[in-house]
């Protein structure tokens, strides 16, 4: 959430108290059928394995990132704009060192609302 990243939630906590991220229970799944390149499929599977918080709602970003990363895997040269697009997608997916600290896994969120948490 952008508000948390920019510190707005700490500045005005009442405004954001009842807001919750949507819960998507479906996993990321297999690469789309239209994705044919060996490198792209390998990149997709690597993202799915390395980024366990990804779910079905992330498929569009993962497909773009897999396309760019797949080209790199097979040794194809990318223009600078391709590397920049990959960097942006990875940031949006929480796959960079800076952005990964902002990711909370579903188990973390469940514990946040556990009524017994205040006693332990």
pLDDT digits 0-9 by tens, 47-76: 999 998 899 999 999 999 999 999 999 999
6 assigned to some structural domain: no
Residue numbers of the domain that contains 87: 41-99
| pLDDT of 30 strictly over 80 | yes
Question: How many angstroms separate the CA atoms of 87 and 65, rounded?
Answer: 8
Count of domains for the chain: 1
How many CB atoms lie under 10 A from the CB of residue 70?
21
- Spatial neighbors of 81 by CB under 8 A, at least 6 apart, are none
- CA distances to 20, 88, 117, 120 from 110, rounded to whole Å, are 12, 29, 11, 15
Kindly calculate the radius of gyration of the chain based on its CA atoms and give it in whole angstroms: 17
Q: What is the pTM of this model?
A: 0.67
Look at residue 7 and tell me if it is in a domain: no
Q: Is 88 a member of any domain?
A: yes
What is the structure's pLDDT at 2?
A: 53
Q: Is residue 120 part of a domain?
A: no
What is the number of other CB atoms lying within 10 angstroms of the CB of residue 95? Answer: 21
Mean pLDDT computed over 7-18: 76
Average pLDDT over residues 90-101: 78
Kindly state the average pLDDT of the residues 35-39: 93
């Amino acid at each position: 959430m952008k508000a948390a990243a920019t510190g707005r939630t700490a500045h005005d906590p009442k405004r954001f108290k009842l807001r919750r991220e949507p819960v998507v229970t479906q996993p990321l799944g297999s690469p789309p059928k239209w994705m044919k390149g060996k490198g792209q499929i390998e990149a997709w599977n690597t993202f799915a394995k390395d980024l366990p918080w990804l779910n079905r709602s992330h498929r569009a970003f993962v497909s773009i990132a897999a396309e760019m990363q797949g080209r790199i895997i097979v040794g194809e040269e990318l223009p600078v704009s391709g590397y920049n697009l990959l960097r942006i997608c990875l940031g949006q997916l929480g796959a960079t060192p800076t952005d990964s600290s902002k990711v909370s896994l579903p188990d973390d969120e469940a514990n946040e609302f556990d009524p017994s948490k205040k006693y332990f």
